[in-house]
Structure 1
């Protein structure tokens, strides 16, 4: 076995929430960060925004000191934001959908730069992307500059979209592992 396959086996056997280092290793194993936008994630962000009728929707991965936007609708050219102070980082600290109906009066966000700054964030809803082995890697979220209430059906749809992202990530990992196995076979033959 190669060192990289041992790392995959280790990551597969590490339990959920063992450490931030293990969570970050789980983020990296999918090789999504610093990659071009893939259509599947872009479509998920689009659908999230359409369900909530928000101008901004993203699929994000939370790294050590930044949030990588695997897809972003409504903020052209933006691919990453700082992690602190982070709404996405707050979402991955819990299992449930995170909702802020009016950020201008919510004590969690009163001084947040996205609320006080040019974006003028007022509404934010996000579902954590949970891997099959329990790591919360990032979020599917929707953002608006006006306050609003989210319906239970919308929030459930956001959870389902986050689960679809997790499924897509697992398919991606299967392809990565298959390509590595094929390369090992070629190396053995040569």
Structure 2
């Protein structure tokens, strides 16, 4: 299967912009892969900057959110997209902040707020590719309300940019390996 082939025929009824975004998510071949150290370190730094027990690097697929890295939640690699906070984040360019989810009208009935996790604080920066697609988020989560300062929020944006840079490096390796394979096939 080539990078440009449409292996996802079920996307025919999906908005063309969302189709393009999903193709961008898949071109990096990170979904359904083991955790890589670079993304794990970014999640760790995000959690350390905010002092939160949970931090993730996520990619938003059509019907799920893949956690490329997750600090503070053992054994969790994916969650449903709906109702999703990450999906709200990728709909915008700015950092998304919820200081107290128990009183924020955007999250009053959210299952992560009302459920076992008891989410109260959430801050996330969208991971934006160099060609403009918002693929996922770098986020921090806590079960107690808190206020994030502007420096922390800027740092979160920088971490999301670092993830985008790492994804571009990953893509270069994927493309180089494919080119080398094609070259070997033509020589033989």
The 8 Å contact of residues 11 and 26 in structure 1, kept in 2 or not, is answered as no
Deviation of 1:176 after TM superposition, in Å, equals: 0.2
Structure 1 residues without counterparts, runs of 5 or longer: none
C-alpha spacing 1:10/1:89, structure 2 compared with 1 (3 Å): closer
SS at structure 2 position matched to 1:3: coil
Deviation of 1:6 after TM superposition, in Å, equals: 11
Counterpart of 1:151? 149
5 Å-filtered alignment, 1:86-125, equals 86-125=84-123
For residues 37 and 26 of structure 1, the distance between their equivalents in structure 2, rounded to whole angstroms, comes to 19
Q: After the TM superposition, which parts of structure 1 deviate over 4 Å for at least 4 consecutive aligned residues? A: 1-17
SS at structure 2 position matched to 1:187: helix
For residues 75 and 34 of structure 2, the distance between their equivalents in structure 1, rounded to whole angstroms, comes to 11
TM-score, normalised with respect to structure 1: 0.92
C-alpha spacing 1:143/1:185, structure 2 compared with 1 (3 Å): same
CA RMSD between the two structures: 3.8
C-alpha spacing 1:9/1:140, structure 2 compared with 1 (3 Å): same
Counterpart of 2:7? 7
Query: Residues 139-174 of structure 1: CA distance to partner in whole angstroms, max 9, x if unpaired?
Result: 000000000000000000000000000000000000
C-alpha spacing 1:85/1:14, structure 2 compared with 1 (3 Å): closer
Structure 2 residues without counterparts, runs of 5 or longer: none
TM-score, normalised with respect to structure 2: 0.93
Deviation of 1:7 after TM superposition, in Å, equals: 11
Deviation of 1:13 after TM superposition, in Å, equals: 22
C-alpha spacing 1:12/1:27, structure 2 compared with 1 (3 Å): farther
Query: Residues 33-68 of structure 1: CA distance to partner in whole angstroms, max 9, x if unpaired?
Result: 000000000000000000000000000000000000
C-alpha spacing 1:69/1:2, structure 2 compared with 1 (3 Å): closer
Deviation of 1:75 after TM superposition, in Å, equals: 0.1
Deviation of 1:120 after TM superposition, in Å, equals: 0.1
The 8 Å contact of residues 15 and 134 in structure 1, kept in 2 or not, is answered as no
The 8 Å contact of residues 113 and 119 in structure 2, kept in 1 or not, is answered as yes
For residues 177 and 12 of structure 1, the distance between their equivalents in structure 2, rounded to whole angstroms, comes to 27
Deviation of 1:15 after TM superposition, in Å, equals: 14
